[in-house]
Structure 1
Amino acid sequence: MSVIRAVPNLTDQVYQLVVDEICDGVLPAGAHLVQERLAERFGVSRQPVQQAIALLKADGLIEEVGKRGMQVASLDLPAMRHHYQLRGALDGLAARLAAERVVCNPDLSRDFEKRGLDIVARGLKAVRSGSVGNQIREESAFHFFVYEISGNPLMAKSAEPHWRYLRRAMGDRLRETPQPETIWEQHRGILEAIIAGAPDEAEKRAKDHVALATEMLIEKFSME
């Protein structure tokens, strides 16, 4: 049982715990969410649960179904495409900006390379272990690393809502289909273009990576 410690922002903690359980398949599509039960399970009052439920609904992860109350929403293919379209634009721009920073300050390349390769190594380890949770965490870690080194402080905040929706789709796919190691070779390719100070190539590789991920997920869920 997951119990939250008494710290200032309980709403965010409840929100993240429910998101994790949706992404991990603990709460599948159609699962009914009862505020009292969540509050008891997480060891908090009803107020942060109510606030977290409102955020989850706004992000499209749960939906209200008549008198039944709230339940985990089914994945929506058009919505998935829309989230990926925006993520692709953001990822391409982030990779371009990061590479441009290296052009202006070549000394950044060493730090970017070390940090990026550390994530790639962890990602490959997660693939080989078969851990869905670790694969999603490292996938997210790599892209948020690129958002960070883009130098635009709004990048990660802009991408976060799309990642919340897509993490759930990624979890569903990875529980059935192992992630190929070639995905992490693509990450390495994006990193190489960034540290080489090649903005056009970095942007192209980032967009191609998202396009392939979109294709893989859409194909998977279209077959169901």
Structure 2
Amino acid sequence: MAAPLARLKARTDYVDEVYRVLVDAISEGSLAPGTRLTQEDIAEQLAVSRSPVLQALRMLKKDGLVLDAPGRGLLVAPLDADWIAHLYQIRGSLDSLAARLAAEKRFKLDKTLIANGRRASKGDDVKAMIESDVAFHSAIYVASGNPLIAQTAHNHWVHLRRVMGAVLQGSGQRKSIWDEHAAIAAAIADGNARLAIELSERHTQIASANLVKRISEVLGDESGVAR
């Protein structure tokens, strides 16, 4: 395993917590594509029994984050550039719809969302960067007033977190991402639905193109990028 996992505090039900720890490790890159995973290793590092680890790994496999490894155990699934592009097409449609609905209400997003995001982008905590990005877009989903947008988007965020993490680890585009977020928030607050849609679509298109390009450059085909 590429990096040690922190032991969990004692409690009765570990499944969800083990799942979150592994998702974070995959998203942050400490569990890179192709890394072999076994129940025994994970249980030992987290200081839990094998049962919750087994259930968490089943959840990850269902999500498509891990695959059966040759022989024994599982491995972290490779990143697929074409699949990422498809994923961002869905995200773009949802983000644009949410931005339009929020703009029609002239919704003013909490300014701390932008401030926290800019602060996180200047540091080295990839998890904090991802959480800030998710918080910003989630706030727009809520502002839209349509609960189905957040519900639908939630199904894809586990994968979006992963590809975002692969890029944010060494990206020089962190500042521009939050400049784009600030522009979207301003358009929504001004009630300019057309501009909010345009900016949201452009933001998603730029993110998708940069992700595919960056992942290919950083990881390469032999390091877990499928085509």
Contact 1:84 1:162 in 2 (8 A): no
SS of residue in 2 equivalent to 1:210: helix
Please name the residue that 2:182 is paired with: 188
Which of residues 212, 215, 218 in structure 1 aligns to 2:209?
215
Q: Which moved further from structure 2: 77-86 or 62-71? A: 62-71
Cα gap change, 1:44/1:176 in structure 2, threshold over 3 Å: closer, same or farther?
same
Match of 1:52 among 49, 56, 65: 56
Contact 2:101 2:145 in 1 (8 A): yes
Of 3, 6, 14, 2:8 maps to 3
CA contact (8 A) 1:193 1:201 kept: yes
Give the partner amino acid of 1:2.
R
Task: Report the counterpart of residue 123 of structure 1 in structure 2.
Answer: 117
1:30 is matched by which residue type in structure 2? G
1:29-49 deviation digits (Å, cap 9, x = unpaired): 111111133233333333322
1:91 paired with 2:95, answer yes
Contact 1:98 1:149 in 2 (8 A): yes
Partners of 1:47 and 1:92 lie apart in 2 by: 42
Structural mapping, 1:153-164, within 5 Å: 153-164=147-158
Say whether 1:28 aligns with 2:32. Answer: yes
Partner of 2:65: 61
Instruction: Write the deviation string for residues 99-157 of structure 1: whole angstroms up to 9, x where unpaired.
Output: 2233xxxxxx4xx33x1x21111111112224322221111111111111111222222
Could you tell me how far apart the structure 2 residues matched to 1:36 and 1:213 are? 37
Matched with 2:76 is: 72
Stretches of structure 1 lacking an aligned partner (at least 5 in a row): 103-108
What is the rounded CA distance, in whole Å, between the counterparts of 1:222 and 1:26 in structure 2?
Answer: 18
Structure 1 moving runs of 4+ over 6 Å:
none
Q: What TM-score comes out, normalization by structure 2 length?
A: 0.86
| Residue equivalent to 2:45 | 41
User: How far did residue 198 of structure 1 move?
Assistant: 2.1
- Structure 2: distance between partners of 1:19 and 1:51: 14
Question: How far off is 1:7 after superposition?
Answer: 5.7
Letter in 2 for 1:195: A
SS in 2 for 1:63: strand
For 2:213 and 2:123, how far apart are their aligned partners in 1?
A: 25
For residues 43 and 52 of structure 1, what CA distance do their matches in structure 2 show? 15
Residue type of the partner of 1:99? A
- Deviation, structure 1 residue 22: 0.8
RMSD: 1.8
TM-score by length of 1: 0.87
Unmatched runs of 5 consecutive residues or more in structure 2: 1-5, 221-227
% same residue: 39
Q: When the two structures are aligned, how many residues end up with a matched partner?
A: 213
Q: 1:5 offset after TM fit, Å?
A: 4.1
| Matching of residue 171 in structure 1 with residue 175 in structure 2 | no
- Which of 122, 128, 133 does residue 127 from structure 2 map onto? 133
